[in-house]
Amino acid sequence: MQNKTLRIATRKSPLALEQTKYVQKKILSLCPEINIKLVPIVTHGDNILNKSLSKIGGKGLFIKELEYALLEDKADIAIHSMKDLPVNITKELCLVSICKRGNALDALVSNNYQSINQLPKGAIVGTSSLRRQSQLITYRPDLIVSPLRGNIETRIAKLDKGQYDAIILATEGLNRLRLKNRIAQVIPAELSLPSCGQGAIGIQSRLHDKKFLFFLSQLNHKNTVIEINTERAFCRKLESGCQIPIGSYAILKKNKIWLRGLIGSPNGEIVLKGERIGWYNTGEKMGHSLANELLDNGAKNILNNIYNNNSLYI
């Protein structure tokens, strides 16, 4: 790898840059002589902040420009939050590594309340996620859920200005930005099942680029890969996107994997849940099996209503 330059495409948000620095450190620990060049990119999703993700095309808006950089040979790898990476990857590209996962759970951030249970009736809670919205309304239908976009610092600033009583963010994002002190409650998965891949960083590359593939594969964290592949199998079967309130969370322990999955209506009136426990090497089959169970139990109707823009679900 001597005298090689590795070009890393990354979003310009503070969290994305922190995640890229994390990966950069990992790479340099394996190969100190490599030259790393960052290719910061502003994505379409970063530019449109006055509309919800579900109305402007979903999570893919945060990765398309990074993928173009790879396809046009302007970068060698791209760094993504795994929760932002669609379950079906562009065919010329591959997910070469998934780094060790941090905390996968959601977090409540509030200046006056220490938990969801403490929020008073009519409290305004900000979130950009239909998944969080659906589960929160199901658990606390007396709360008011209000849209919230922007990077983590922008969202917290809106909270501090009194626009919200509380907001919900990803715990690991706050940890990476050294904002752990802002967390009032790490929300249990039983109340807010995380998004597929939440808490993990993925490295994407060109499929046939042999120059870096083997080297970068050493950054793979085996247990995290098994967990997230299980979660993504569940979501792939449900053809999930940002327009659908869907959660999946797998935990690998002692060669057994525990998968929980959820799909709901955005208004929280319907939430379907299920789980599977099996051996670590059956994770993807478990994901498909659980998805089929939910489809048979009503998920097909939820999906049809969402895709048909039925007013009950928007």
6-43 per-position pLDDT tens digit: 999 999 999 999 999 999 999 999 889 899 999 999 87
Contact between 275 and 261 under an 8 Å Cβ cutoff? The reply is yes
Which of the residue ranges 174-178, 213-217, 223-227, 258-262 would you say has the lowest mean pLDDT? 213-217
Residue 194 lies in a domain: no
d(CA 192, CA 296): 23
Find all residues with CB under 8 Å of 45, minimum gap 6, and list them.
53, 56, 57, 59, 61, 62
The whole-angstrom separation of Cα 14 and Cα 210 is 30
Among 311, 258, 312, 253, CA closest to 286:
258
* Residue 192 placed within a domain: no
CA gap 76, 164 in Å, rounded: 41
235/121 same-domain check: no
In a domain, 142, yes or no: yes
Active site residue 84: yes
Sheet bearing 35-41, strands edge to edge:
35-41, 5-11, 77-81, 201-206, 93-98
Q: What is the pLDDT of residue 149?
A: 84
Q: Identify the CA nearest to 84 among candidates 172, 145, 160.
A: 172
Residue 77 has pLDDT above 60, yes or no: yes
User: How buried is residue 32: exposed, middle or buried, by Cβ count under 10 Å (0-12/13-18/19+)?
Assistant: exposed
> Do 243 and 309 belong to one domain?
yes
> What pLDDT, on the 0 to 100 scale, is given for residue 91?
87
Q: Are 184 and 119 in contact (CB under 8 A)?
A: no
**Token representation of residue 300:** 């097909």
189-204 average pLDDT score: 96
**DSSP state at residue 294:** H
Residues near 139 by beta carbon (within 8 Å), at least 6 away in sequence: 116, 191
Q: Around Cβ 175, how many Cβ atoms within 10 Å?
A: 16
Residue 226 domain flag: no
Query: Is 69 in the same domain as 134?
Result: no
The band of 132, judged by pLDDT with boundaries at 50, 70 and 90, is very high
Catalytic residue of the set 84, 142, 165, 296: 84
Q: Name the strand (E) or helix (H) holding 42.
A: none
Residues 237 and 307 in one domain: yes
| Nearest of 27, 237, 247 to residue 135 by alpha carbon | 247
Beta pairing, strands 5-11 & 35-41: parallel
**In the predicted model, what is the mean pLDDT of the chain?**
89
| Structure confidence at residue 250 as a pLDDT band (50, 70, 90) | very high
What element of type H or E holds 251? strand 246-253
3-class DSSP assignment, residue 106: strand
Q: Is residue 225 part of a domain?
A: no
HSE-CB at 176 with a 13 A cutoff on CA atoms is 26
73 by DSSP, 3-state: which?
coil
The domain in which residue 141 lies consists of: 106-186
pLDDT at 214: 80
Helix (H) or strand (E) run with residue 211 in it: helix 210-217
Q: How many domains does the chain have?
A: 3
CATH code for the domain in which residue 153 is found = 3.40.190.10
User: What average pLDDT does this structure show over 183-207?
Assistant: 96
Q: Do 156 and 118 have their domain in common? A: yes
